[in-house]
Amino acid sequence: MKKKTEDLINEIVTGRDISLYIDSNQEEFLDIPLQEHLQGLLRQKKMRVSQAVERACKGEYVYQVFRGVKRPGRDVILCIALALGLDLKETGMLLRIARMPSLDARDRRDSILIFAVSRGLTVPDTNDILYELGESCL
């Protein structure tokens, strides 16, 4: 990814041929399989799958996500992000690759999740805050 999103949008809006845009911007697309991206994050964070699974607090299901057997929901992706200790930028990229909505500071629950990610909180600690503030837990 070399171009800014707003530049890509401008190319789409001002262009006459979507096929030309697609052909000339292949390297900009996020066509990375989720399990491949997760394996890369494990290597980057120097973690084993078992550590991520334990920290995500979602049991066997997370193993299946890492193997590409299960397609997780947004909350599971966020649990994995917290388990891996991802920062906000990394979490945003993980959500994009998983084809999930990004965290939105104008959403009450997402604001709490942004707080948790930015401080490197654990899944249980994040769930405690969500519960205390009347939001659904991960």
pTM of the model: 0.86
Place of tokens 């990004």: 102
d(CA 94, CA 80): 9
Which residues, 6 or more positions from 133, have their beta carbon under 8 angstroms from its beta carbon? 108, 112
**Contact in structure between 49 and 66 (CB atoms under 8 Å):** yes
pLDDT per residue as tens digits for the range 5-28:
898 899 899 988 899 888 988 888
SS3 call for 17: coil
Regions of the chain with pLDDT less than 50: none
